[in-house]
Structures are given as C-alpha cells and as structure tokens.
Amino acid sequence: MREMAEPYRVAISPDLFAADGSSVLGDVRLDLLDNAPGVEWRSLGPVGRELTADDLRGLDALALFGQKVTDASLQGNDRLAIVARIGVGYDNVDVAACTRHGVMLTITPGAVRRPMALANLTFLLALAHRLLEQDRLIRAGEWSRKFEVRGSGLTGRTVGTIGFGNIAQEFVALAAPLGLRFLASDPFASPPAAEAAGVALVDLDTLLRESDFVVVACALTPDTLHLLNAERLGLMKPTAFLISTARGPIVDQAALTAALRERRIAGAGLDVFEREPIDPDDPLLALDNVVLSPHNLGLTDEWAQLSGVSVFGGILEVAAGREPPHVVNREVLESPVLAEKLRRYREAAR
C-alpha cells in the first residue's frame, strides 16, 4: 500500500498562488490531491523563471503554470514522471528534453476549449460593435456623437482562423448562428472536420486577403514565430480586424502597431503580447482602435476547475502507474526509463 511506502511527491509552480497561499485562479480542485492517499503536495516556493534541477529534485510530478522547464531542469532527476501543464501552450517546456528523461508532458485541451473560444467571440463582438469606443464616448459626455460610432453587421462577413484545432473548431461552432462565412488555414487540419463545420480550408495569404476578422488560433512554434509579419499584415483589408488569444510572438507586434496606427487595418483584439507583461510605455497602449486584455480573457471559474480536474487527475493517474490523458510527447510512452517509473508507482499503489 502507498500509505506504507514513500509518498508520491507533487509540486505546483508558485505562480499559481497568491501571497496568502490562495490560488490566483480560484478553485482549481486542489482537493483532488488533498484527498489522495499517499500523496504529498506543495508549492515550489520562491523560484526563478527557469526551474533548476534542485527545484525539481525528489519530485514525482510537477503541475506547471508559467515557469520554464529546460534540459538543465531535468538533469539528475530519476523520479519525475510527469510535467502537467495548466493550459495548452507549452513553449515554456523543452519537449525533447522531457522525452529524453522519460518525463511525460501533458496539457489541458478540454479545459480551455470553450473558455478560449468564447474569448475569441468576445473580441469579435466587441470589435464589430465598437464597444470600447461607445464606452469612451458616453463617459466623455458626448452622447450627441453616437451616430458617428456605427458598428459592422456580421451577416455574410468572413472570419478566418489561423489554425483549426480544438479552440478554433469550438469558436466556429459558437459563431455559426451569426451567419458568417468561415475560412481556416492549417496544414494539419482534417478536411472532413472542416467540411462538417462549414469551413473552407485555404492558404494563409488567401485567408488574410478575404477575411473581415482574422483569428489567431495556432500554437507558437519555430514555424509560427512572427507568422504575421509586416508583409502578411499588409495583405489584410483596411476594414479588417485581427484577434489573437494564442501566443504573442506569433504576431510581429511592432508591425501590428504600425498597421493599427496608420489605419491599414481597422482594429485588433489582443489577449497576448510579445513580451508579458507589456511595457506600460508600449505604443500599442496609446491606440484607440485596439481592445486589450492581460492574457486573462479566457480565465473563468469553468476554466479553472476543468484545468484542475485535468492536471491533477492526470497526475493521480501516473501515481497509480497509468498513462494520463493528453500526453504531448507520445514517443516517451516507449521509453524504458518511463516504463520503470510507472512500474514502481504500480508496485507502490498495490
């Protein structure tokens, strides 16, 4: 029985906690760990942005939020079996290093699918109806100018998603009743899935030229870094809007700022930035045709609880010696190093 053996040790990256020890995300279902026999958990405490080997020494599992896990982080650790990322982006994790060290990397696609799709829809509606401009006008006592701030109707407009994964597919399903035309650019998209959703798969340049709203919904990889540069932003209509809730560096922020300032595109809704937090003096903040949120628009109580269930549920699956859901580096499942770790957990759980 695990109660008689060495505890299964879980650490949680400290950016999940406020100074008083409460979760910054609300209820993330830490009770799942509290109620699991033979499991000990703690916050990692004060650590740097990049976790060190000492930070992770003696751990079996890590629930990771914003810290970085590198090859150096994993050196000399023969216990760690899972890095469970809270969210779906994993540009802060060296995936190949995890595989070499027999460590599974998991993400939480089910938890972010609906909240992030709704975040994209929120930006679309706010931009189409010029919500912030309406708000500023009435606060300035300029009611008489209301007819100068007319929104854009959505029926027949074209929305293009860069990427057609879980979030983009959910976004299309939510927005479909609005009478929009949908395009997507994604080399990995399933044509049958796109056809079933009423989405036309096109190349990126075509999507940028034809879309009234461009939604960035792809992962940040070496191939997508500055995917939307000055040249590609120049393909967009002057009446078009850009929405990004994915990762900031996918868009060349300086090029986007110039396009917005010079009204070469109509506006943007941004939840993510090249550098976070954004510099208070960044020229983007002075523009009146952009709606901004601090990489937080999709964070809801639903997101927090579903993320916790996914992350901590997966960690407890590993504690029982089983494969957790949503493993990113599937090749690690063939690793004899990982197999030995899982065997030890199964033995301890008997």
Active site positions, annotated:
247, 276, 295
Which residues touch 139 (CB under 8 Å, ≥6 apart)? Answer: none
CA-CA distances (angstroms) from residue 247 to 90, 148, 214, 253? 10, 34, 15, 11
DSSP at 42: E
Q: Tell me 219's DSSP state.
A: -
Helix axes 109-128, 301-319, angle to 10 degrees: 160
In the chain, which ranges are E strands?
Answer: 8-12, 39-43, 61-64, 82-85, 104-106, 158-162, 181-185, 199-201, 213-216, 241-244, 267-270, 290-292
The residue type of 339 is A
Alpha-carbon 175 to chain mean position: 20
- Residue closest to 154 by CA, chosen among 178, 126, 185: 178
CB 232 within 8 A of CB 208: yes
